[in-house]
A and B are shown apart, each in its own frame.
Chain A
Amino acid sequence: MVDSDIKEMRRLVIKSFHITEASFSDKTEIMGQSLYLRKNIVDDITKDEPLIHSVNIEIIKPNEHDRWVNSIMDIIPISAKVLGRLGEGITHTLTGIYVMLTGVDTEGVQVAEFGSSEGILKDKIVLNRPGTPGENDIILLCDVVLKAGEGSFRTGPTAAHRVCDKMVQEIRDKLKKLNGRYCTEKHEFYDVIKPNRKRVAIVKQVAGQGAMYDTHLFAKEPSGFAGGRSIIDMGNVPIIVSPNEYRDGAIRAMH
């Protein structure tokens, strides 16, 4: 796979499973290209969440973008660690469906920091970008309503990410169990040392100031929330991430 003078440090395999249909059902399941989400999942994910008034989960089909959404807090891939730790081993990910987290409070104040994106969905998102769903993708909307005023404290948006992650975790637990042989695509990535080349680093300056302005790193699951460490809590100092850790979802954008 790699040239003779290149030293291989670790290998990451990302296997994707393509989804073309999503609907609510009695239990969460992935069957063929269909994702079923437990219809009463909201009751469980909002338990012990005192800052959250309610959560509304919806499936938005590709031709249904002429509709209202609250301010878009994040777009999140559904990925799960199957083998190894972040940056190595095997990760499963779904394509054709992405999670959209939106937030508002009971007073109608949007959860946003520096301009907000509530409105008619088709006017509020540019599709087919690296960070947005494609035009044929399904959007799994997780719309969180915080209690009045909670969006202005760091704990409010953090709670919204947490409940959304609990929903995704139920899907991840099924995604982990899929037989890798039946994946739609398989991509192999290597962390390598290439001697005698120009040495280059990428520096990413990320949000780190407070409510709707935070970045988490190294969650337990790819692009996850649980177990992640806040760049604010780490004093905003530079943290080194390997290319494979990065592409295995080391970063959760909390802004």
Chain B
Amino acid sequence: MGVGPSTKETSLHHFRDPLLDVVSKDNDVDLVGIVIVGTPQNNEDKYFVGQRVGAWAEAMRLDGVIISVDGWGNSHVDYANTIEEIGKRGIEVVGLSFVGTQAQFVVKNKYMDTIVDFNKSAEGIETETVGENTVTELDAKKALAMLKLKMRKRADK
């Protein structure tokens, strides 16, 4: 299992990525960079790359992370693990993923309390229609708003 036609982020999507556009324009946050992490095949590697993302996030002294994935099913194992690696370091995390009715998380943890589901299909499924279940500007704005709220709550504590 991996990336279906409807959730696939095409090269054009990356070129005019709405998530990058929304976060980079917001003057309340300092976007330090985009971390690209792969989705390896075996479980040991999945945990390894997630730990490395966590280490980067700590080294960058981050307050918050928005983590997006365009695959689901098996890819959600990596996703959940990486979120945990970031969250347990005291860094706020908001996720973006296709969930719908078909892609309920196979594994979950306490840091996955704010996930923006970018399913757009009426049935909540992988429709095999390119572009249908992908991140739009509105999804990106929701994710950033959630992250800002989480970061503020932590600062108030």
Contacts and interface: CB of A to CB of B under 8 A. Distances in A.
B119 interface: no
Interface residues of A, number: 67
A76 B35 contact: no
A103 to B, nearest CB: 12
Contacts, number: 271
Nearest to B78: A205
Interface in A190-204: 193-195, 197-204
Nearest to A241: B34
Contacts of B53: 203, 238
Contacts of A1: none
Contacts of A30: none
Range for the number of chain B residues in contact with chain A: 35 or more
Contacts of B52: 237-238
Interface of B: 1-6, 8-20, 23-24, 27-41, 45, 48-49, 52-53, 56-57, 60-71, 73, 75, 78-79, 82, 86, 120, 126, 128-132, 134-137, 147-148, 151
A205 B39 CA distance: 7
B5 A126 contact: no
Given A200-B63, A255-B2, 16 more contacts: A72-B130, A76-B12, A117-B129, A124-B130, A198-B64, A199-B62, A200-B66, A202-B23, A213-B3, A223-B11, A236-B45, A237-B48, A238-B35, A243-B24, A247-B16, A255-B8
17 contacts: A75-B10, A98-B12, A116-B128, A117-B128, A130-B12, A130-B18, A130-B134, A131-B10, A131-B13, A201-B33, A204-B36, A205-B70, A205-B79, A215-B38, A240-B35, A240-B36, A255-B3
A251 interface: yes
B34 A249 contact: no
Contacts of A131: 8-10, 12-14, 130-131, 134
A79 B39 contact: no
A24 interface: no
Contacts of A200: 23, 29-32, 62-66, 147
A253 interface: yes
Nearest to B41: A209
Contacts of B130: 72, 75, 117, 124-126, 131-132
Contacts of A197: 27-30
A235 B37 CA distance: 9
Contacts of A156: none
Nearest to B42: A209
A76 B10 CA distance: 7
A207 B40 CA distance: 8
| For the complex of A and B, 4 pairs with smallest distance between CB atoms | A208-B38, A131-B13, A236-B38, A132-B131
B3 A130 contact: no
A194 B131 contact: no
Contacts of B11: 74-77, 223, 249, 251-253
Contact of A240 (B30, B56, B131, B148): B56
Interface in A122-169: 123-127, 129-133
A231 B102 CA distance: 28
